[in-house]
Structure 1
């Protein structure tokens, strides 16, 4: 992919903000912008207004492109949170709020979907779509200005792309995955949907990521500053976007995204089969597979225990506690999704910590131990793990935690210079417009490794006992299947890339 001065624009619709990044083909960031988002939370409810998304896109894009007098934008793509859905009218305008990825009101609908033979989790998009339909009196229509209008199901980026292009667009298969789209056969599961009472007319057309959806229209260009006629290509979920930004797209490569929670995503030539539904598979634009899973442990636990702490100061103090005197399983919210499915799982700390630093150390270590279990579970399923491992996410800004994780995992880890999902969308836009032969080639050109961490064998050995204790505790509580615990124990003396 030659760097001819063309810039590629990636837009990331996050939970708390929208980010826009303009990047050249060789990864030089020419401009960036962001704008905050807010939502409504109450118990299991978490909603946002799609109008706020557009306002934030306008602000972030204008900021990113304010110095672009002589640079051409070759194309753009949009990523968003996975499992966030809403209803729109026939022209793509929202008819109500969006149910966010962690809205928890659709557990009953998820159970119905599983009874119909669909492998979905409670927080996925399909249960929320059924919930929205029920809240709409079960009909695929809504009343506006006294007239009944057909409603359509949309995923978060669809609303933004519709505004950008000026017309309704298909959804991408990456966001459609959690609405039960069958990626292997490229179709919606219509018989199961009929059993659930989901009208066919509710469902959008689906295309592969990277497919061209249209061009930026005059009205959108005036608001956003994105030039009229800029090509818009279908995006992917934010987790996939972060994986692209990490460069982890060749078979056996994995990206571990540690933010509020922990997400692992890898690359494989075939889908990784998991009868329990814990691991699911996105599909890359070239037809290869991106298996992964999302845990509920993560850095969010640090903020819950220590809301006013200085992370750098606490990291320094934690170095005296390796391993910590207590064992922590730091869930950020009730229920676990990966490396096992346990809706009733709760966070725990076993023992009484000697100090705040000891507890901080236990939380850091607890996340890393769970991360190791995730990799052991993937090995249990036969996933390829022999490629490079990359750390991204907000927690990758902590040098101490990065090294601790490499030590506990017993394998090297790369930390890229730029880890934003928006970079992944810039790479996808470049690939979609033919500027690179493969998406992996586009990502390799844009993603630059900042450092490579080497595990320290003595530290890896020191954490074998805490890991074994965690396995025992999770199995004793009935959350971790015995077969998975046994597989992980058999790998105690191996690094997590070992066979």
Structure 2
């Protein structure tokens, strides 16, 4: 059951002030212009598309910038009298690329769930770094090996380039996926050039983009040889490309996006010694600052493209999961935010890191030094489109109410491999049983996400994370009232739903904090976040979902993915009142 919550009170900043939050998601870029009390003055959305082939998932980084320009102009339309006090950018966690000093891409963007760098991840783990296959560091090592020195790659166009004569498409590779053409130049079929003349080059291994320490080309794939970057080339996270383009010059990355590239948040330093062993050039790495630090101002060229006023402060951001956590207001110890979009991300607040030897749970660091533990599952709403590409979600939600619980058990992974609540690179989506109808299958998918969410919370409890604070639902799926109530029933605990569930609002709050308009990030968020609804679990419904939840836990354990101690802990908690934990 749901009841309405009170709106946040107070203001941050003057009557004419507002802050801009920019969120780069999987399927779109969203921009919000919000005042200090959370009033949204304007918003804009621009779509993104990617390419998936097996474990590979890429996007064209040039599309990110174009989408930011489009969405920013829409958010600011008709708001010329509003003073933009600052902006911050969040992006998908673990998405990396190589770019030049002006923010122009030199490689594709390898997305957060791209799994091509499994061998590089194994090398990093052997060297003592606790990383998952899809994290930023393994993909950085892959990029260094694949795009290396010679032939003008990783530099400005002129002698083999991305960029084209005219604006035509690069050489076709037949399947629409970036791949090596006959001359070594990457291209894609039929949908235009990846970048423009002068934006840099993308050339496969063999033509080179990074120079060896001795001046020759890097040895073959997997050599781990020592290399140095061509002048101006740098490793970047998705948000870094946008902040660099906004500022017009290289800017530091933030420690939140750098976490999955193996930045040590406790020592606040890159592990340079280990990186040298792995062959990752020191000169390729950006400087790092804490989120909320001022890193630049919007330059004239970016202002012309985006409509953001010249001189607007650019504040170091955080990952999209952390941004959603800020937008939920879950910043006090024991509070948790569950972000349900394409995938599922849980983030909480703690005074110390939550230790996990498997690396499934990791810890971001808040601007003031406290910790934000959590994890990211590959289960999420993205799986729904795979089963129902032309669905009407509202109609299917209505029909699903007759199937509580569903007759089948589903584990709805949006992409291959699982990252949280257990680590299983070979995990695949499954449905146990034959659904009676489309409505039954839809219900099983929605419930499967809820069961996974419960297992994530049980895993965090198993690891000793503080769990006694409120739970908040954010993300695109939080727009579904039915799914929100279903999740609260499955979890057996209350959940809050804010008025604004978008990570972009979290970045607006971080921008307000970073420009001095609020004394703490928690204070900025408390003033901006308004609770729309508080969902109360229905005990009878919670009891109905206990048996299918236990069946899913058993199936995951049987397949060898879920460790037995965690499975036993989850089953034991079925007999307990989890409303406050």
- TM-score, with structure 2 as normaliser: 0.83
Indicate the larger mover: 45-54 or 236-245.
45-54
| Alpha-carbon distance between aligned partners in 2 of 1:138 and 1:381, rounded to the nearest angstrom | 45
Is the contact made by 1:13 and 1:19 (CA closer than 8 Å) also made in structure 2?
A: yes
Matching residue within 18, 27, 33 for 1:16: 27
Q: Which residue of 2 aligns with 1:182?
A: 264
Q: Which residue of 2 aligns with 1:82?
A: 93
Is the contact made by 1:141 and 1:150 (CA closer than 8 Å) also made in structure 2?
A: no
Q: Which residue of 1 aligns with 2:14?
A: 4
Matching of residues 75-474 of structure 1 within 5 Å: 75-137=86-148, 142=154, 144=156, 145=158, 149-474=231-556
Q: Which residue of 2 aligns with 1:71?
A: 82
| Alpha-carbon distance between aligned partners in 1 of 2:569 and 2:344, rounded to the nearest angstrom | 21
Q: CA deviation at 1:91?
A: 4.2
Which segments of 5 or more consecutive residues in structure 2 lack a partner in the other structure? 1-10, 160-208, 210-229
| Alpha-carbon distance between aligned partners in 1 of 2:89 and 2:464, rounded to the nearest angstrom | 32
Q: CA deviation at 1:36?
A: 1.9
Is the contact made by 1:297 and 1:331 (CA closer than 8 Å) also made in structure 2?
A: yes
Q: Secondary structure at the match of 2:421?
A: coil
Q: Which residue of 1 aligns with 2:61?
A: 50
Is the contact made by 1:375 and 1:496 (CA closer than 8 Å) also made in structure 2?
A: no
Indicate the larger mover: 150-159 or 408-417.
150-159
How many residue pairs align between the two structures?
Answer: 499
Indicate the larger mover: 170-179 or 258-267.
258-267
Q: Secondary structure at the match of 1:463?
A: helix
Q: CA deviation at 1:470?
A: 1.6
Q: Secondary structure at the match of 1:282?
A: strand
Is the contact made by 2:44 and 2:73 (CA closer than 8 Å) also made in structure 1?
A: yes
CA offset digits 1:18-68 (Å, max 9, x no partner): 211110000111111122222333333322232222222121111111212
CA RMSD, aligned part only? 1.8
| Alpha-carbon distance between aligned partners in 2 of 1:73 and 1:142, rounded to the nearest angstrom | 35
Q: CA deviation at 1:226?
A: 1.1
Is the contact made by 1:408 and 1:459 (CA closer than 8 Å) also made in structure 2?
A: yes
Q: CA deviation at 1:150?
A: 4.6
Which segments of 5 or more consecutive residues in structure 1 lack a partner in the other structure? none
- TM-score, with structure 1 as normaliser: 0.96
CA offset digits 1:188-238 (Å, max 9, x no partner): 011110110111111110000000011111222222211111111100111
Is the contact made by 2:101 and 2:249 (CA closer than 8 Å) also made in structure 1?
A: no
Q: CA deviation at 1:378?
A: 0.2
Q: Secondary structure at the match of 2:34?
A: strand
Q: Secondary structure at the match of 2:308?
A: coil
| Alpha-carbon distance between aligned partners in 2 of 1:490 and 1:350, rounded to the nearest angstrom | 23
| Alpha-carbon distance between aligned partners in 2 of 1:280 and 1:344, rounded to the nearest angstrom | 21
Q: CA deviation at 1:136?
A: 2.2
Indicate the larger mover: 201-210 or 485-494.
485-494
